[in-house]
Amino acid sequence: MSKQSVKKAEEIIASQTVKNGTFNGEYCSLVLLDHDGYPMASVLTAAASDGIKYVYFCTGTDSNKYKRAKANPKASVHYGTGEHSITLVGEIEILTDEASKKKFWYDGLAEHFPEGATAPNYVVLKFTTKRYMLFVDWEETEGVI
């Protein structure tokens, strides 16, 4: 494992999350299995991250992302540009507690949830990485967390 590649991947992920304070306007892909067992990608904003171990997303209970995660928690998150490719493989946990909903709330969600962080259909998807494959600074690194 290249600690430098992992550190750089953590910086890239942090720059693409809203709550980490450095959001650069780029998105990532969350891949979940559909009802037929096929992978389906959704492009979305990550609310927050903690290194490469955890990535948090906000969504509604009426969304396909929520329904797919509820049916099968296995998932993958991908961040990519022409300069890097970060693939995380793991599982989703659905958080519905008020503390988590408030912690990961950001202003852009108000359009979808006018009731705010207490909206009953607002949930947080907590992605936990089990393994990863990184291509950062022209170095490929794979590992298990």
Domain ranges in the chain?
A: 3-144
Give tens-digit pLDDT for 94-135. Answer: 999 999 999 999 988 999 999 999 999 999 999 999 999 999
Residue 52 has phi, psi (to 5 degrees) of -100, 0
Mean pLDDT, all residues of the chain: 93
Question: Which of 25-39, 56-70, 87-101 shows the lowest mean pLDDT across its residues?
Answer: 25-39
Residue 41 in this model has a pLDDT that exceeds 80:
yes
Residue 102 burial (CB count, 10 A) = 12
Query: Which whole-number Å values give the CA distances from 105 to 6, 109, 129, in the listed order?
Result: 27, 7, 22
Question: Which of 10-14, 80-84, 110-114 shows the lowest mean pLDDT across its residues?
Answer: 80-84
Residue 51 in this model has a pLDDT that exceeds 90:
yes
pTM assigned to the model: 0.94
Tokens 């979940």 found at: 32
Residue 123 burial (CB count, 10 A) = 24
Task: Check residue 22 and give its pLDDT.
Answer: 63
Task: Check residue 72 and give its pLDDT.
Answer: 97
Fold of 3-144: Pnp Oxidase; Chain A (2.30.110)
